[in-house]
Amino acid sequence: MTMQKAVALAHLRVAYEPDDDDDVVDVPAPPASPPQFLPVPSAWWDTPAVTSRPLSPVPEEARTARQFVRELLTCWDLSYLSDDAELIIAELVVNAVRHGLRTAPQPVTVGPGASSALRLCLLRRVGEVMLAVTDPSNEAPTPRAPGWTGESGRGLQIVGALSYVWGWSPIEGRGKAVWAVLRCS
C-alpha cells in the first residue's frame, strides 16, 4: 500500500450531495488494525541480530530515525521499502516521545550521562523487516478514532495501513517495544 493510500484511509471522508446542497456526510474511517501482542524474551531487543541506536526524547528525533532507516535499508538492498518504513518509524518515534515517556512508571532522566529511554531497532529476517521503537511505558499502544478536523491521532492507523502486521512487546523492567513488519522479497 502506498503512503497516499494510507493517508487517504486515515482521512476517509465522503462528499455527498443529495439535493445539490453542500451537505457533507462523514463516514467513519475503518478501524486501525489492532496491535498484535508478541511476547518475546526481553533480552531479544539487545541481541546482535537487532540493529539499534538510541534516540533523544524529542519529536524532532523522528527525522534522525528516518535517515537511519533509509540508510540501513539501502545497505540491505531494500531501498524500495524506505518510503513506507520512514513514515512508519516517524510515527512510532513521535508516539514514543508523546505517549511512552509521559506514561512511563518512573520519571525519565534527560541530560548528559543519562541512558536513552528511547531506542530505534531494526531486524531483518527472511522475507521481512521489523521496525521498532522502545520506550519506558508499560501501556499498550491504542489506536484512536480522530475527529476529521483533528491534527493528530492518525499515526497508528497509518502504521497499520502500511505494515503487514504491527504490535507491541513488553520488555521486562524497561517498558515496551512498539513494532511494525514490512514484507520484502
The full set of domain ranges for the chain reads 33-183
Q: Which residue, among 49, 55, 80, has the nearest Cα to 68 in the 3D structure? A: 55
Q: Are 35 and 166 in contact (CB under 8 A)?
A: yes
Say what the pLDDT of residue 35 is.
84
pTM of the model: 0.76
Residues of the chain with pLDDT under 70: 1-32, 103-115, 150-151
pLDDT in tens, 134-179: 999 999 888 877 777 766 778 888 999 999 999 999 998 889 999 9
Say what the pLDDT of residue 130 is.
95
Q: What CATH topology corresponds to 33-183?
A: Heat Shock Protein 90 (3.30.565)
